[in-house]
Amino acid sequence: MTTWYTSVDSPFQSLLLTSDGAALTGLYMVAHEPGPAMGDDWVHDEAAPFAEARRQLAAYFAGALKEFDLPLAMKGASFHQRVWDELKRIPYGSIITYAELARRVGNPRASRAVGQANGRNPISIIVPCHRVIGATGRLIGYGGGLPQKQALLNLEASVLASPSAVQFQIMRRRYLRCDLRPGGPHNPSVRAARKPPSLINYPGQLPYSTFQTLT
pLDDT of residue 173: 52
Asked if residues 215 and 137 have their Cβ atoms less than 8 Å apart, the reply is: yes
Express as a percent the part of the chain with pLDDT over 70.
73
DSSP assignment of 125-159 equals TTS-GGGEE-TTS-----TT-HHHHHHHHHHHHHH
Query: Distance of alpha carbon 136 from its chain centroid, rounded?
Result: 16
DSSP annotation of 197:
P
Please confirm, yes or no, whether 129 is among the known catalytic residues: yes
Asked if residues 126 and 27 have their Cβ atoms less than 8 Å apart, the reply is: yes
pLDDT of residue 130: 95
Size of the chain, expressed as the number of residues it contains: 215
DSSP annotation of 34:
S
> Which residue among the candidates 87, 102, 114, 129 is catalytic per the annotation?
129
pLDDT at 114 over 80: yes
Query: How confident is the model over 111-133, as a mean pLDDT?
Result: 94
Query: How confident is the model over 80-105, as a mean pLDDT?
Result: 96
Query: Distance of alpha carbon 112 from its chain centroid, rounded?
Result: 17
pLDDT of residue 153: 93
Q: What is the pLDDT of residues 33-49, one digit of tens each?
A: 666 778 788 999 887 79
Q: What is the pLDDT of residues 163-211, one digit of tens each?
A: 554 444 454 455 445 444 444 444 444 444 444 333 333 333 444 443 3
> Which domains does the chain show, CATH number per domain?
3-61 (3.30.160.70), 78-157 (1.10.10.10), 161-214 (no CATH)
Asked if residues 133 and 118 have their Cβ atoms less than 8 Å apart, the reply is: no
- List beta partners, residue 97: 133
Most confident of 7-11, 28-32, 51-55: 51-55
Taking the model in full, what pTM does it have?
Answer: 0.72
pLDDT of residue 40: 84
Most confident of 74-83, 131-140, 155-164: 74-83
Give me the sign of the Cα torsion angle 197, 100, 10, 51.
negative
Asked if residues 95 and 133 have their Cβ atoms less than 8 Å apart, the reply is: yes
Average of per-residue pLDDT values in the chain: 79
